[in-house]
Structure 1
Amino acid sequence: MLDRDQLETFASVAEQQSFERAATLLNVTRGAVSQRIKALEESLATILLLRDKPVTPTPAGEVLLRHVKALRLLEASSLRELLNPSVGEGPVPLAIAVNADSLATWFMPLLRDLFAQRAVALEVVTDDQDHTSGRLRRGEVVGCISTDAKAASGFVAEPLGAMEYRCYATPAFVAEFLGDGLTVANVLRAPAIHFNRKDALHAEFLQRRFGVRIDRYPRHYLPSPSALLEGIAMGAGYGLAPSTQAQRLLQEGVLQELAPGDPVHVDLFWHHWEMEPPIAREITDLIVGHAAKCLIQPRRPTGKPRRQRTLSPLPARRRAREVVIASM
């Protein structure tokens, strides 16, 4: 049987990334924190934390951190079942990781639903969609939106659908840099706009279009979906943006599409624990159900009805806040 005080102390150090900050949070001495961690590691015969700056969990520590977070959620779910709803213990802290483009488009109406039900104190962590799954494996969040179709051991990757991106620029930018079209010669001199240095979408678009990898072109970095689109609209460069986000500017003539027959579809998946506590499972059902209405879904063979998911909306008594869902 694992000692709960030792487990909570370990989780506090992992979450705070510091023995000193964990001691302050727990209102104990730094020595007491060290003793509890040492005793826990000895009982499990493994090292759980790397004593660097910042402190990080080892692979074994990541597994144990997920266990502690699951315990917290399971306990919160049980208390909500047992206690009078009017008494309540307040919203349950959760964290999830959501890519910035989803947060700026289809995910926002879902957040309104979650906030209105007041069941969770939600922390949303944003990152590039190719890099969110690492946060889930490290135990920082209980679910994440990722482009990775394959789930790690102990996790499930549920398909959400695809986001559509198209390449845009202003008419004035096109006249200055792309008068004879989106050619390799023009791409090498026309400024592109990327989300950040992790963003590989633009490079993949160019490689697919021209059949070769193109790296040596000028680029701006604007790490916000709205800032990226604004940069394109002000004529700073050309770039890829979600088609739903750019639709109004396209209709108004502020932007024009550079490759009308060449949209980019990015498949998204919701990664979560294989064995989810009830509250986390409710969040999963809400996200998967909402994505089915908002994202591009794959065509299914005629005559094969789609399997329906049974959604379990959060009960009214489970009333409750960012874009990674992780227990805190």
Structure 2
Amino acid sequence: MTESAGMLDRQQLHTFATIVEEGSFERAAAILSLSRGAVSQRIKLLEESVSSILLVRQKPVVPTPAGEILLGHIRALRLLEDSTLRQIAPGGDGRGPVPLSIAVNPDSMASWLAPLLRTPLLQHSRVALEIIAEDQDHTLERLARGEAIGCISTASKASTGFVADALGVMEYRCLASTALAGRAFPEGLTLQSALETPAVLFNRRDGLHDEFLQARFGMRIDRYPRHYLPAPGAVLAAVRAGCAYGLVPMLQLNPEGAAALPPDLVDLAPAHPVRVALYWHHWQDEPPVARELSEAIVALGRERLAAMPAAVGNAA
């Protein structure tokens, strides 16, 4: 039962979060030192109290849309409680770093976001940071599921209860090694060469190259050869190795923002740069440590990325 009218039972919430984190009722029961039946009963009572099904009983167990909302609430409560206890007893409570998860596109991590690791939050061990690598068009899914307290996204509009701060614009160029360019692209990037030469993408959810080809040739091109290398910096490594061509963020090549290309690379489509506007999505009401992390990310983005067009700006 709930503790009182309108209140959620803390044991039930903890049990629910543990099931989601472990992916099964059985593992949650072992961690909580409960029987499988007791775990099921807690979830049944919690679902009755909110009048919603919260879990999809499959392997692994996953939250329903209503469960995702509740999971975000639980993780926000945990963070707020931890922050409150630290303010009550700063430095003397023996508590370790605050665990925080953010969803970030690999290109940002490999270029402009790396100095985040040198901020006081991490240097003084105040935060135990988990960075979830995800394509910038899909990071909001992680935020919505409560897996992250913030994310870098291409979406300019924030969901209810969140804020979207404009970070800046990442510019990509379609690059190949000089050897590959001479062999496969003697006339530049043509439709025929794009259909015959492997491109390199981060993973199957990476849609940036598809969008680039469609803008370049005026049609959607699905059946072009491609490599998938899901690691920050791997796209640039593949391009430099000459086994593929691909879209590379200029900041990764030139951290100081210089426009010149190194001599081993060729821009296959100099008249067609790809510019991606990025936003930092985070809770509207953040505990202090999460707010400090958000401020650090926004400051880095606005310092390192190109300025947003005047018509874009911040979204809330």
Partners of 1:15 and 1:34 in 2: CA distance? 16
Task: Work out whether residues 80 and 88 of structure 1, in 8 Å CA contact, stay in contact via their aligned partners in 2.
Answer: no
Partners of 2:178 and 2:224 in 1: CA distance? 20
Give SS of 1:53's match: coil
Which of 8, 31, 46 pairs up with 1:40? 46
Which of 189, 206, 224 pairs up with 1:217? 224
Partners of 1:150 and 1:251 in 2: CA distance? 34
1:89 to 1:206, Cα distance in 2 relative to 1, 3 A:
same
Alignment of 1:97-136 (within 5 A): 97-113=103-119, 114-136=121-143
Question: Letter of the aligned partner of 2:76 in structure 1?
Answer: A
Residue in 2 aligned with 1:175? 182
Residue in 1 aligned with 2:285? 275
* 1:156 shift after superposition: 2.0
Q: Which runs of 5+ in 2 are unaligned?
A: 1-6
Alignment of 1:1-328 (within 5 A): 1-113=7-119, 114-247=121-254, 251-300=261-310
* 1:300 shift after superposition: 4.5
Task: Work out whether residues 164 and 263 of structure 1, in 8 Å CA contact, stay in contact via their aligned partners in 2.
Answer: yes
Give SS of 1:214's match: coil
Residue in 2 aligned with 1:318? none
1:194 to 1:33, Cα distance in 2 relative to 1, 3 A:
same
Task: Work out whether residues 132 and 145 of structure 1, in 8 Å CA contact, stay in contact via their aligned partners in 2.
Answer: yes
Partners of 1:127 and 1:293 in 2: CA distance? 23
Task: Work out whether residues 178 and 186 of structure 1, in 8 Å CA contact, stay in contact via their aligned partners in 2.
Answer: yes
Residue in 1 aligned with 2:3? none
Q: Which runs of 5+ in 1 are unaligned?
A: 308-328
Task: Work out whether residues 86 and 93 of structure 2, in 8 Å CA contact, stay in contact via their aligned partners in 1.
Answer: no
The answer to which of 168-177 and 251-260 deviates more is: 251-260
Partners of 2:202 and 2:143 in 1: CA distance? 22
* 1:142 shift after superposition: 1.1
Structure ranking higher on relative contact order (CA contacts 8 Å, 6+ apart): 1
Question: Letter of the aligned partner of 2:19 in structure 1?
Answer: V
Task: Work out whether residues 100 and 224 of structure 1, in 8 Å CA contact, stay in contact via their aligned partners in 2.
Answer: yes
* 1:96 shift after superposition: 1.0
Give SS of 1:47's match: coil
Partners of 2:295 and 2:263 in 1: CA distance? 39
* 1:111 shift after superposition: 2.1
Partners of 2:262 and 2:69 in 1: CA distance? 51
The size of the alignment, in residue pairs, is 302
RMSD (CA atoms): 2.0
Partners of 2:270 and 2:68 in 1: CA distance? 45
Partners of 2:280 and 2:206 in 1: CA distance? 20
Can you list the C-alpha shifts for 1:144-201, whole angstroms capped at 9, x where unaligned?
A: 1111222223322221111111011111111111111212222222222222111111
Question: Letter of the aligned partner of 1:102 in structure 2?
Answer: S
Tell me which stretches of 4 or more aligned residues in structure 1 moved more than 4 Å: none
Can you list the C-alpha shifts for 1:241-264, whole angstroms capped at 9, x where unaligned?
A: 11122349x754211111223211
* 1:84 shift after superposition: 4.0
Give SS of 1:188's match: helix
Question: Letter of the aligned partner of 2:135 in structure 1?
Answer: D
Residue in 1 aligned with 2:4? none
Task: Work out whether residues 166 and 308 of structure 2, in 8 Å CA contact, stay in contact via their aligned partners in 1.
Answer: no
- Aligned-residue identity in percent: 56
Question: Letter of the aligned partner of 1:191 in structure 2?
Answer: P
Give SS of 2:128's match: strand
Give SS of 2:209's match: helix
Question: Letter of the aligned partner of 1:217 in structure 2?
Answer: Y
